[in-house]
Chain A
């Protein structure tokens, strides 16, 4: 598994093998195989409702697969007890879809929470760490505000600050820019790029934002029909001859949309 460890093939940090998962009678994942390599950015794309977030939840150990293995740093997440799971999770940072900020805590306390609960720093040191991260995210003025008083973009930035608080080795992004306008999305991508350069973390991103997200990706994986249809560099992905990938690329990067009002026959084949 961890064979080539040179620059082109850094070691695998997360590996999903044959992961199957059903919710009730609905089969969401039908044998997902996926590898994430250290320091790289993997982007998982696919239509809504295909189970992209479910894949991330498996990696985080929040969901148990019906079949198959999820290995993080070589450890099978489903065979670990709570304490061992926490050891693995100490390397994680997560930016949830809706940021999942603690809504009864203000911005400062939200970002300070990992430091207060996981380290033995005193309040002065906590303050120093929090202010540094909030400064990086441009949030110094918002420290006293509560999550409900923030705009969507600010909320995501607070979520990112909290996720990066303890220098994680792997950061997960679940739809980081959904609901943000183009300007706010770009801002978040810039922050992502800058912090990854600084901290060198591995990133797993689930996103809809095709093609913009390709600029950040080292590898792109398409999830469709419960399986990973291919995992390759963004360039290869866009030129792939694989029918499902090709259909996805055409759908998301081709014409804006086709409506009934358009000229007859123009999009007839779509």
Chain B
């Protein structure tokens, strides 16, 4: 009985502590983004890492997602005799939902894990302590450029995903099922409005922030992990945690934003 109470208690304390730590981390990271003098180079380097180097993966997944949407959409729409709406169906599901979510999940797998491991190893090998002892703010030097780059890169990647996905749907629709190309795009013009694009944009901005926030924070406080964040195994476990937590958060926030903006 007491053992159970003890477990609940320590679990709750741990949860509160972690939440508090993550909140403080985000505050410090956000404020350090606006500290002068602003350095452009580190941000550009991070945008290159998170954005440019994810572009190929995004192109690939975007194309196939669009093609699958074309196949499945055509199959469903044909039942109602409205194949002409294929363009709007593909575009709306990509822009509002699949584009931001799938992009975020792909980038988390590629860049989120890397950010967590990088920061975690820097923590483990005392490199973050070294920065602090040199009176160099690790948030400003290390975290802020990554956070800013995440917020810049994620919407851009999402845009690429959307465009290439729409193209994939077009290829399947016109090439395979002989849908009129004009009808494919005309449906899109009439049904996609600014509010749809806005929703996709808001989502991708939030996901970009979420990814870097969770990955960097997990790595940064590696030594405080309750499961023990020591050595190579600690880094690997924390990286896995970070990827799982950010993926789940992306899906949860996807629902929340959809519900709020609908």
Residues of A with Cβ closer than 8 Å to B? 57, 60, 62, 82, 86-87, 89-90, 92, 94, 96-98, 100-104, 113-114, 117-118, 172
Contacts and interface: CB of A to CB of B under 8 A. Distances in A.
A87 to B, nearest CB: 8
Contacts of A118: 134-136
Interface in B109-164: 118, 121-122, 125-127, 129-130, 132-137, 141
A94 B141 contact: no
Nearest to A172: B133
A60 B135 contact: no
B125 A98 contact: yes
B129 A100 contact: yes
B127 A62 contact: no
Given A103-B125, A117-B141, A96 B130 contact: yes
Contact of B135 (A90, A98, A101, A104): A90
The 5 A-B residue pairs whose C-beta atoms are closest, nearest first, are A100-B126, A100-B130, A89-B135, A86-B135, A94-B133
Contacts of B129: 57, 60, 62, 96, 100
A104 B117 CA distance: 13
Nearest to B37: A120
A98 B127 CA distance: 10
Contacts of B134: 89, 92, 94, 113-114, 117-118
A89 B133 contact: yes
A100 B136 contact: no
B127 A102 contact: yes
Nearest to B133: A94
A181 B33 CA distance: 45
A127 B134 CA distance: 19
Contacts of A104: 118
21 contacts: A60-B129, A87-B135, A89-B132, A89-B133, A89-B134, A89-B135, A92-B135, A96-B126, A97-B126, A98-B125, A98-B126, A100-B127, A100-B130, A102-B127, A102-B130, A104-B118, A113-B134, A114-B134, A118-B134, A118-B135, A118-B136
Nearest to A92: B133
Contacts of B121: 103
Contacts of A100: 125-127, 129-130
Nearest to B126: A100
A90 B135 CA distance: 6
Given A100-B127, A102-B127, A117-B141, 13 more contacts: A57-B129, A62-B132, A62-B133, A90-B135, A92-B135, A94-B130, A94-B134, A100-B130, A102-B130, A104-B118, A113-B136, A118-B134, A118-B135
A118 B121 CA distance: 24
A104 B132 CA distance: 18
A139 to B, nearest CB: 18
Give the residue among B118, B125, B134, B141 with the most A Cβ atoms within 10 A: B134
A104 B119 CA distance: 11
B136 A117 contact: yes
Contacts of B122: 102
Nearest to A159: B130
Contacts of B136: 113-114, 117-118
A172 B130 CA distance: 12
A83 B47 CA distance: 29
B141 A60 contact: no
B52 to A, nearest CB: 18
B158 to A, nearest CB: 28
